[in-house]
Structure 1
Amino acid sequence: MVALAERGIRSSVVRLAPTVHSTLDHNGFIPTLISIARSKGVVAYVGDGANRWPAVNTLDAARLYRLALESAPAGSRLHGVDNQGIPFREIAEAIGRGLNLPVASIPATEADAHFGFLSGHVTADNPCSHTLTQDLLGWKPVQPGLIEDLRQGHYFDIPATPAT
């Protein structure tokens, strides 16, 4: 990025939360977790489920990209996160409510068998902040957060897909 700025090109990097959610999300982490839960008959989390997942609504992320294009200083590193760290257990509980399935802790030794390729993600603790992005661009997420998005129910209308 610095090399681009030296050539007169204003560039920036937008790092999105791993979970970008909305009614437009049909193939991301949340639909995959829902599919796994449907196929297993239980919504699982690993250990105490205190590991945190950041998230951002699709429309808030889109607005951040627009602001980055319009006014981010050259070389800016921007974080597109709203929910800066939702405990995974809370995500599992919201999915359990939406699917009317039991929610249970599983030991880390069973994560690979239960979650497949997502096992590394569901055990990661990945808190992050948008404070610098907000200070730099005035960006503030205004759309529903992930748990509210799950409460709205649209994720549970997505047809079941084969789980991992």
Structure 2
Amino acid sequence: MTGLCLTPTACTTGGSSVNTVVPQSQQQAQDTLMNYLKRTLDGLPTGTVIDASRYGSAGSTGYCDDNDSTPTAPRNFSTIGELHSPSGTDNDATVRKVGEIWSSWGWKVIERDEFRKPNQFGYGPDGYRLQIVSASPRSFPPTVNAISPCYPGTIARDDIAFPIQIASDS
């Protein structure tokens, strides 16, 4: 199954081979996603934030295989939020800019046909994935998702908070 590697190895994600880095803890997975999201925001106009308020929760753990929900089944951590830009920002241009940011890190970035366009799906060489999809109507903010590689279910936790809002450090 795609992205279900639990040892540092080559997997296929987004149609390309990656050397998945298996998180050694859920905290590590969350910290890595937070770093990628902040780096994304650093490349956008000051005042841009990722806001999960509408979703009621910023992150969750999920099963990597829909057919295996045993306590030891591999899990991943994912987060979702709206990308709120300063007033007057072109949301479609922002979606494309985010893809350029991810590409500048050496990530494989593609636009997928089965999603509203524009969209950008970024696949990191370490197995982490980021995606941004435009909203309908276009005046609504795009949605950003971030997903960690799979890790052993034995280290999954439900008690590690993830911020509802993320802003750039710069």
Report the TM-score range of the alignment, normalised by the length of the smaller protein.
0.3 to 0.5
Per the normalisation by structure 2, the TM-score is 0.31
- Find the structure with the greater CA-based Rg: 1
Q: Which has the higher strand share?
A: 2
